[in-house]
């Protein structure tokens, strides 16, 4: 190091503690777990129902379900590919279930259901096996004969004359499902073959999900005719893609940002040493930020790192201020010649302003740290820790290393001249800015209805075309409304099953009334033991049954003599062991059941009943009707996934708005406490408020609704912009237009605008949103600060 000039022991102690902190930070980071699932984009929901919902989205069946489309070629080629793909995937151990509409593959399920029909059929009760009940049931079954549907019934007539298998199948066939053509599912327009898979691996296991996706692509490539195109969608695809994208983009952005900034700094300072010094606070900030997030949250989300690169923008400013301002003399350029005073003067004159700027930024990020979205909270903590570390490094480490700032000249002088020109000319057009600001305000008030986003998807890292494909496939495969659910919870499986049966009885009424097309329930495949026992008790012994049958078939079309197999099957059912979830392992229905019953970690169980409401006006009140129907069944709750998410999102955007306003208020209070002058406070706040207004109006003018991340961007504009307006105000207060300080402001601004400009081009919507707000907003903040707070115009009083 050049000199021990920056004083002494205190200076070195500061450097030593910085080194120690960095070492500890590095140790923490090495042990940090980095996550990349979608959880950062899902709110940590406030009430139990919403928590259950978010938990479902993270780890439920949806998180394991892939939606697959096959396009191109002709319908025969698509059908062949669908069959071959399904066959190949069913043979692979990664998949629990592969559906493509070809139910010949489910013959095993059919056999199992047929074997257990007297325990499963909701029609089985004592009356069903009386002479009268048997006659009605046999008449119903016979009414299918002589029609195309009879082909399925006729071979089973002797074993199942009461049509229990038919009855169970009718219930299971709820929504009618996708369009079927050539024996496989196709889209309504017939141009796309459709499949759906559920992986064995958990949705949160992204490595396994990546393998699942690869397996599907491999299998498709092996079987598909040329010209066919595979389309994949669903939560696992999004999660895996986002992870890859976040990883790739984070790296690319960090690299591009560093190169860009490095080039800019090199051109400006023409000194490698200055470049290294400028990067030191940035690097320290990143180490501190990652370590802090890791300590507070237990893991660091990949997206936080991506957002965190935005921090480079502000942290590098501190170094720029120091490197330039510590060198130039306030009034005497010769000051640079004398070693020592440079850093001292900087600490005395500029540091308070930089520190104030840092505190205002922290104020803003503090609002984020309390956000309900883990991703945003991580970003808040990351930024606060990072800024403090960068500030500390600038204040205490740089003076030891480069006590006189940087000696390199580069383009600094030109920058200074340019900034001086800006400061001289902009105040002349400030009335124009004021007029623009007023116009923006009017415009924003006029458009206030459409200003804010209400969709959670705006937070999602998934791109719009991918979401559109997902919506299409989901609509075709799941009738568009599989997302209404009833969740039934209980301490043990039998309690849950009994509650599900109670819920089913009430939902049946809604199906009859036409409000619901249908629903699915675990109790169709695994009735509660109580219900199974009741059904078993309803089955008569052979003698009674034969007597009743003789009466029931008297004078009818079906001769009772043919029904020996029926009597035998009923007798066998009376001896059958009960069906329990545990006894299904290895049976063909295990997969059906796994989607409908979820075992909790605490030993409790949750059953999910996906509900399909009637399309069109008939189903309009379905959600309310379902909620009404559940009244009195404490264990059951209904929710519509889409509505619930929308409600959550609007809750969080209101919360974020409140936090942003609090943050802004904190910034104003801090500056008021420092400036202790209302006119100066107004002069400092006005350009910031205008920058925010103009940016928002710009988004409104382009018809882009603002989401939570735009709000974060606006917060950053205030945080960064406050540095400019404070510095310019300070200069004005001193009465001198110091070109070096102006140069440092312009350079700091350029780095911010460039680094956020990079982010604005990101393919991750969330990152791009921040970049698109901050790049223009920060530029506006500097220009407006120059217009309103420049030294020359100090005599003119501010207009209200």
Partner 1 sequence: MRVDRRQACLTVMALAAAAPARAAFGFDELMATLAERKSGEARFAEERFVSGLDQTLNYTGTLSFSAPDRLERHTLTPRRESFIVEGNQLTLQRGERVRRLALDSVPELAAMVAAMRGTLSGDASVLRRHFRASVDGRAARWTLTLVPLDQRLLGVVRLLRIDGMQADVRVVELQLADGDRSVTTIEPVAPKARSATP
Binding residues (CB under 8 A) for partner 1: these are 136, 139-140, 142-143, 145-151, 154, 157, 170, 173, 175-183, 188, 479, 511-512, 514, 517-518, 556-559, 562, 614
Under 8 Å between Cβ of 693 and 435: no
Q: Using alpha carbons, select from 178, 465, 543, 319 the residue that is nearest to residue 327.
A: 319
Q: Which is nearer to partner 1, 148 or 577 (CB)?
A: 148
In the block, which residue shows the tokens 């200069």?
Answer: 731
Under 8 Å between Cβ of 554 and 139: no
Instruction: List phi, psi (to 5°) of 409.
Output: -105, -55
Shortest distance (Å) from residue 544 CB to partner 1: 24
Q: Which is nearer to partner 1, 561 or 631 (CB)?
A: 561
What is the enclosing helix (H) or strand (E) of 287?
A: helix 272-297
Separation CA 474–CA 239 (nearest Å): 17
Separation CA 779–CA 784 (nearest Å): 9
Shortest distance (Å) from residue 64 CB to partner 1: 24
Q: Which is nearer to partner 1, 173 or 252 (CB)?
A: 173
Q: Which is nearer to partner 1, 619 or 737 (CB)?
A: 619
Q: Which residues of 527-551 are buried (b: 16+ CB within 10 A; e: fewer)?
A: bbeebbeebbebbbeeeebeebbee
- Structure letter (DSSP) for residue 452: B
Shortest distance (Å) from residue 761 CB to partner 1: 44
Q: Which is nearer to partner 1, 177 or 341 (CB)?
A: 177
Q: Using alpha carbons, select from 582, 642, 651, 589 the residue that is nearest to residue 611.
A: 642
What is the enclosing helix (H) or strand (E) of 24?
A: helix 8-30
Two tokens, residue 34? 């980095």
Shortest distance (Å) from residue 145 CB to partner 1: 5
Shortest distance (Å) from residue 478 CB to partner 1: 12
Under 8 Å between Cβ of 461 and 41: yes
Separation CA 56–CA 15 (nearest Å): 49
Shortest distance (Å) from residue 548 CB to partner 1: 19
Sequential DSSP letters for 738-768: -HHHHHHHHHHHHHHHHHHHHHHT-SSHHHH
In this structure, how many other beta carbons lie within 10 angstroms of the beta carbon of residue 219?
Answer: 19
- Structure letter (DSSP) for residue 298: S
Pairing mode, strands 597-599 and 605-613: antiparallel
Q: Which is nearer to partner 1, 31 or 147 (CB)?
A: 147
Under 8 Å between Cβ of 217 and 91: no
**What sign has the CA pseudo-torsion 77, 80, 86, 88?**
negative
Separation CA 189–CA 475 (nearest Å): 12
Q: Which is nearer to partner 1, 166 or 498 (CB)?
A: 166
C-alpha dist (Å) from residue 305 to 244, 299, 465, 481: 14, 12, 25, 36
Shortest distance (Å) from residue 103 CB to partner 1: 11
Q: Which residues does residue 484 pair with via DSSP β-bridges, in sequence order?
A: 611, 640
Q: Which is nearer to partner 1, 124 or 787 (CB)?
A: 124
Instruction: List phi, psi (to 5°) of 486.
Output: -115, 130
Q: Which is nearer to partner 1, 181 or 247 (CB)?
A: 181
The SS3 call for residue 333 is: helix
In this structure, how many other beta carbons lie within 10 angstroms of the beta carbon of residue 164?
Answer: 27
In this structure, how many other beta carbons lie within 10 angstroms of the beta carbon of residue 637?
Answer: 17
Shortest distance (Å) from residue 127 CB to partner 1: 13
Q: Which is nearer to partner 1, 145 or 266 (CB)?
A: 145
Q: Which is nearer to partner 1, 94 or 136 (CB)?
A: 136
Shortest distance (Å) from residue 129 CB to partner 1: 18
Beta strands in 407-483 (DSSP E): none
The SS3 call for residue 2 is: coil
C-alpha dist (Å) from residue 273 to 281, 400, 429, 457, 714: 14, 14, 40, 45, 34
Inter-residue long-range contacts of 419-424, CB under 8 Å, 24+ positions, other chains counted = 419/739, 419/742, 419/743, 419/745, 419/746, 419/786, 420/737, 420/739, 420/742, 422/746, 422/783, 422/786, 423/728, 423/737, 423/742, 423/786, 423/790, 423/791, 423/792, 424/790, 424/792
Q: Which is nearer to partner 1, 517 or 552 (CB)?
A: 517
C-alpha dist (Å) from residue 449 to 110, 212, 441, 646, 658: 54, 43, 14, 16, 18
Shortest distance (Å) from residue 506 CB to partner 1: 15
In this structure, how many other beta carbons lie within 10 angstroms of the beta carbon of residue 422?
Answer: 18
Shortest distance (Å) from residue 615 CB to partner 1: 8
Q: Which is nearer to partner 1, 190 or 340 (CB)?
A: 190
Q: Which is nearer to partner 1, 517 or 593 (CB)?
A: 517
Q: Which is nearer to partner 1, 555 or 703 (CB)?
A: 555
Instruction: List phi, psi (to 5°) of 70.
Output: -125, 120
Q: Using alpha carbons, select from 144, 123, 110 the residue that is nearest to residue 589.
A: 110
């Amino acid at each position: 190091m050049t000199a021990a000039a920056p004083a002494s022991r205190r200076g070195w102690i500061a450097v030593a503690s910085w080194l120690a902190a960095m070492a500890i930070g590095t140790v923490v980071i090495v042990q940090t777990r980095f996550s990349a699932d979608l959880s950062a984009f899902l709110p940590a929901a406030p009430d139990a129902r919403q928590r259950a919902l978010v938990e479902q989205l993270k780890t439920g069946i949806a998180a394991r379900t892939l939606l697959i489309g096959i396009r191109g070629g002709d319908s025969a080629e698509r059908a062949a590919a669908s069959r071959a793909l399904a066959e190949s995937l069913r043979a692979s151990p990664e998949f629990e279930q592969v559906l493509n509409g070809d139910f010949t593959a489910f013959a095993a399920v059919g056999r199992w259901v047929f074997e257990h029909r007297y325990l499963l059929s909701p029609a089985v009760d004592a009356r069903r096996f009386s002479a009268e009940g048997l006659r009605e049931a046999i008449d119903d079954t016979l009414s299918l004969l002589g029609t195309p549907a009879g082909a399925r019934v006729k071979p089973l007539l002797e074993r199942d004359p009461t049509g229990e298998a038919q009855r169970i199948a009718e219930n299971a066939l709820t929504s009618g499902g996708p369009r079927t053509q050539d024996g496989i599912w196709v889209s309504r327009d017939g141009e796309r073959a459709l499949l759906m898979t559920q992986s064995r691996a958990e949705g949160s296991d992204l490595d396994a999900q990546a393998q699942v996706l690869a397996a599907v692509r491999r299998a498709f490539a092996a079987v598909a005719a040329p010209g066919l195109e595979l389309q994949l969608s669903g939560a696992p695809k999004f999660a895996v893609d986002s992870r890859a994208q976040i990883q790739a983009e984070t790296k690319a952005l960090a690299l591009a940002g560093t190169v860009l900034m490095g080039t800019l700094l090199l051109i400006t300072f023409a000194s490698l040493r200055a470049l290294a010094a400028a990067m030191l606070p940035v690097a320290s900030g990143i180490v501190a930020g990652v370590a802090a997030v890791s300590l507070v949250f237990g893991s660091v989300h990949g997206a936080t790192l991506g957002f965190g690169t935005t921090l480079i923008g502000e942290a590098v400013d501190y170094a720029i201020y120091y490197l330039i301002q510590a060198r130039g003399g306030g009034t005497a350029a010769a000051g640079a010649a004398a070693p020592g005073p440079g850093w001292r003067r900087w600490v005395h004159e500029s540091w308070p302003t930089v520190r104030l700027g840092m505190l205002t930024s922290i104020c803003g990020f503090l609002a984020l740290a309390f956000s309900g979205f883990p991703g945003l909270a991580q970003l808040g903590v990351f930024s606060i820790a990072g800024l403090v570390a960068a500030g500390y490094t600038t204040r205490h480490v740089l003076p030891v290393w480069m006590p006189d700032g940087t000696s390199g000249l580069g383009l600094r002088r030109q920058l200074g001249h340019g900034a001086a020109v800006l400061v001289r000319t902009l105040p002349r057009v400030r009335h124009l800015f004021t007029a623009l600001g007023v116009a923006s305000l009017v415009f924003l008030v006029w458009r206030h209805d459409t200003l804010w986003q209400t969709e959670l998807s705006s937070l999602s890292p998934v791109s719009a075309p991918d979401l559109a494909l997902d919506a299409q496939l989901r609509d075709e495969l799941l009738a568009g409304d599989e997302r209404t659910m009833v969740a039934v919870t209980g301490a043990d499986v039998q309690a849950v099953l009994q509650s599900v049966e109670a819920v089913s009885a009430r939902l049946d009424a809604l199906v009859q009334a036409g409000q619901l097309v249908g629903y699915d329930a675990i109790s169709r495949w695994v009735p509660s033991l109580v219900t199974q026992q009741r059904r078993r008790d309803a089955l008569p012994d052979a003698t009674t049954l034969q007597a009743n049958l003789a009466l029931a078939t008297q004078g009818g079309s079906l001769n009772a003599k043919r029904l020996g197999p029926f009597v035998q099957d009923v007798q066998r059912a009376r001896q059958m062991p009960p069906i329990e979830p545990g006894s299904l392992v290895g049976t063909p229905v295990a997969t059906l059941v796994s989607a409908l019953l979820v075992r909790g970690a605490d030993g409790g169980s949750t059953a999910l009943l996906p509900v399909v409401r009637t399309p069109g006006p008939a189903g309009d009140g379905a959600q309310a009707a379902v909620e009404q129907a559940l009244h009195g069944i404490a264990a059951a709750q209904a929710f519509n996934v889409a509505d619930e998410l929308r409600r959550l999102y609007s809750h969080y955007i209101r919360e974020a708005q409140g936090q942003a306003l609090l943050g802004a208020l904190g910034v104003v209070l801090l500056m008021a406490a420092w400036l202790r002058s209302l006119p100066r406070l107004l002069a400092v706040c006005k350009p910031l408020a205008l920058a925010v207004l103009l940016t928002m109006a710009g988004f409104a003018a382009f018809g882009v609704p603002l989401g939570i991340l735009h709000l974060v961007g606006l917060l950053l504009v205030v945080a960064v912009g406050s540095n400019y307006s404070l510095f310019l105000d300070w200069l004005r207060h001193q009465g001198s237009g110091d070109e070096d300080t102006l140069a440092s402001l312009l350079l700091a601004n350029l780095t911010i605008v460039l680094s956020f400009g990079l982010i604005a081009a990101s393919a991750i919507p969330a990152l791009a949103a921040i970049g698109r707000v901050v790049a223009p907003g920060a530029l506006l903040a500097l220009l407006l600060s120059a217009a309103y707070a420049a030294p020359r115009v100090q005599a003119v009083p501010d207009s209200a």
